[in-house]
A and B are shown apart, each in its own frame.
Chain A
Amino acid sequence: MAMTPAPKSKKSSKKPTAGKAPARRTTGDAATLAATVTAFANGKLDARIRPADYADPGLRLIATALAGAGAGIGAQLKEFNDRVKNVSHGVDQAIEALIRLVVKGDLSGELRLGVTDAALTPLIAGIGQVMETLKRFVTEIREAALQLSTSSAEVLAAATQNESSTAAQASAIHETTATMEELKGASHQIAENAQMVAAIAEQTLTGARQGEGSIKLFMQSMEKVRRNAVEVDDAIGKLSKRVERIGTVVEVIDEIADRSDLLALNAALEGAKAGEAGRGFSIVAAEMRRLAENVMESTKEIKNLITEIRESTHAAKEASDGNKREASEGEKLGGAAITSVSGILSGIQETSDAARVIHLATQQQRTATEQVVLSMSEIEEVTRSAQSGSRQATGAASELTKLAERLAELVKRFKID
């Protein structure tokens, strides 16, 4: 606020009236002074206060002081504005230099400004620190980018390997699942077959028991046959003795008949020697001889019959002996068969038990296999998801590798040495 002449009031040239006139002028001057100060305060720095314009001494003193203060403030403001312009120019230069450095990426130099101001020293120092920090950051980022590139390459290789392994694993699991499906079908078939085997073994066991009973009946029959053969043998022995007795009797009869024939022949001979007188005797002798010959014919037939009976009884005896031997052999065979069947029964019983156990085991196996198949399906699903994730990881790793390379390329733009 400069010392400017006091504004001319329309009433200022008039002479104050007695009493009230000087008071009104003072008030007006004070208002003028206040308005001037207010304008100065509002930024109207060219507002001037002229102390000489104020009649009131007090106002004049105040005006003088305000004028001096205004002049001082104005000078200081001017100096301040000049400095601000200078600093702003330096800051602009610093920002432009910083932008250029950053754009070129050359952090190897130092910031040099064409303006010197103490106020810029912290800025220059701060930018220097920023550059140093950037250098450190770039260095670290470069090392990190290198490590990142290396690590991402390793991650990509691992992800690729993992993807390949996961694919192989998925393929193996798929094949295993298919195999387990086949195994499930086979287990089902085995379970059915085992059940069938168990049923057949049970039937065989029943059949073998029936066979054992039949063999026992057969042995009883063999025993009966053997006893019958012994009885037949005894009967044949008695028959042979009676036939021999009959033969003896027939021999006697034959001898008698032969002698009767001889007597009849001699009678006929004597009758013939006697001529006509012995004719009747010869006729009787001839009749006797016919009778004797008939008897001899009959005894001959009886002898033939006895011979046939002897042959038949002999054959019957041999047959009976054969029956006894066969019956005895049959009993032995039956005993051996019973022993064998007992062993077979034991074996079949064990087989039946084993088949039943196998049946149960195969049922459990079938259940377990079905559970395995279910688990394999779940594993396959999980593996498929893992395979998808692995594929995504590989893609991400590939992308990461590209980004690392890109980052390395970007970092290379910054020159720090």
Chain B
Amino acid sequence: MTEPVSELLMFQLGARVFATTVRDVVRIGNIADVPRDALVEGTSLGPTFARQRGLVVAAPEGGAESTLVVDQVLGVRTVPESELQPLPAFAAAVLTSGAISGLVLLDEAPTLIVDLPILVRERLAAAPPRPSPPAATA
């Protein structure tokens, strides 16, 4: 009998690494191919720097897809579900965003699990997207 696992997509904004379930991501794209008004950045996860990739997130209720700008996509990791932990109550109370659904210990380092649809929704609800700087070509 095998232990149930969860497939997590690892991505990086700035110096921090985050994880999200693969089901929240429709595909991984190149932000240069995405219209600027479809890009989502400046979220509560922090500012972006390299802006290499875009995580395409399905819109709720049949809306248009949104592309979350990230600095780098690190890959997919398979993690036993037992290692997925809910966010502590104190941390949940402190955080203003509801996009952090839990955490997972990877390579002995705690990694936040992000609910991308909630994150995109919060960002879109908070303010119109700011003009983005030119995409990095390096």
Most buried by B among A259, A265, A268, A273: A265
Asked whether A265 lies within 8 Å of B22 as measured between CB atoms, the reply is no
Q: How far is the CA of A221 from the CA of B22 in the complex (A)?
A: 72
Asked whether A269 lies within 8 Å of B30 as measured between CB atoms, the reply is no
Asked whether A262 lies within 8 Å of B78 as measured between CB atoms, the reply is no
A388 within 8 A of B: no
Once A269-B22, A272-B7 are accepted as A-B contacts, the answer to whether A262 and B29 lie under 8 Å apart by CB is yes
Q: How large is the interface on A (under 10, 10 to 19, 20 to 34, 35 or more residues)?
A: 10 to 19
B131 within 8 A of A: no
| A203: chain B residues within 8 A (beta carbon) | none
Q: Find the B residue at minimum CB distance from A293.
A: B75
A317 within 8 A of B: no
B76 within 8 A of A: yes
Q: Which of B34-81 contact A (CB under 8 A)?
A: 53, 73, 75-76, 78
| A275: chain B residues within 8 A (beta carbon) | 7
Q: How far is the CA of A265 from the CA of B7 in the complex (A)?
A: 13
Q: From B22, B27, B29, give the contact of A272 (CB < 8 A).
A: B22
Once A269-B22, A273-B7 are accepted as A-B contacts, the answer to whether A286 and B75 lie under 8 Å apart by CB is yes
A298 within 8 A of B: no
A282 within 8 A of B: yes
A266 within 8 A of B: yes
Asked whether B28 lies within 8 Å of A266 as measured between CB atoms, the reply is yes
Most buried by B among A268, A269, A275: A269
Q: Which of A255-282 contact B (CB under 8 A)?
A: 258-259, 262, 265-266, 268-269, 271-273, 275, 282
Q: How far is the CA of A282 from the CA of B22 in the complex (A)?
A: 12
A-B contact count (CB 8 A): 34
Asked whether A268 lies within 8 Å of B30 as measured between CB atoms, the reply is no
Q: Find the A residue at minimum CB distance from B29.
A: A262
Asked whether A272 lies within 8 Å of B28 as measured between CB atoms, the reply is no
Instruction: Provide the main secondary structure of the chain A interface.
Output: helix
| B22: chain A residues within 8 A (beta carbon) | 269, 272-273
Once A273-B7, A273-B22 are accepted as A-B contacts, the answer to whether A268 and B75 lie under 8 Å apart by CB is yes
- Chain B interface, number of residues (Cβ within 8 angstroms): 14
| A259: chain B residues within 8 A (beta carbon) | 30
Once A265-B73, A265-B75 are accepted as A-B contacts, the answer to whether A272 and B30 lie under 8 Å apart by CB is no
Q: How far is the CA of A286 from the CA of B74 in the complex (A)?
A: 11
| A282: chain B residues within 8 A (beta carbon) | 76
Q: Which of B7-30 contact A (CB under 8 A)?
A: 7, 9, 22-23, 25, 27-30
Q: From A262, A272, A286, give the contact of B9 (CB < 8 A).
A: A272
Q: From B9, B30, B75, B78, give the contact of A258 (CB < 8 A).
A: B30
A289 within 8 A of B: yes
| A268: chain B residues within 8 A (beta carbon) | 75-76
| A266: chain B residues within 8 A (beta carbon) | 27-28
Asked whether A265 lies within 8 Å of B23 as measured between CB atoms, the reply is no
Q: How far is the CA of A79 from the CA of B121 in the complex (A)?
A: 217
Asked whether A272 lies within 8 Å of B78 as measured between CB atoms, the reply is yes
Asked whether B29 lies within 8 Å of A269 as measured between CB atoms, the reply is no
| A289: chain B residues within 8 A (beta carbon) | 75
Smallest beta-carbon distance A282→chain B, Å: 7
Q: How far is the CA of A6 from the CA of B28 in the complex (A)?
A: 229
Asked whether A273 lies within 8 Å of B75 as measured between CB atoms, the reply is no
Asked whether A265 lies within 8 Å of B28 as measured between CB atoms, the reply is yes
| B7: chain A residues within 8 A (beta carbon) | 272-273, 275
Binding site for A on B (CB under 8 A): 7, 9, 22-23, 25, 27-30, 53, 73, 75-76, 78
The 8 closest A-B pairs by CB, nearest first: A272-B7, A272-B22, A265-B28, A268-B76, A272-B76, A266-B28, A273-B22, A266-B27
Would you list 6 pairs from A and B whose C-beta atoms are within 8 A, ordered by A residue?
A258-B30, A262-B53, A265-B28, A266-B27, A268-B76, A272-B7
Question: Besides the contacts A269-B27, A272-B7, what 7 more A-B pairs have beta carbons closer than 8 Å?
Answer: A262-B29, A262-B30, A269-B9, A269-B28, A272-B22, A273-B7, A286-B76
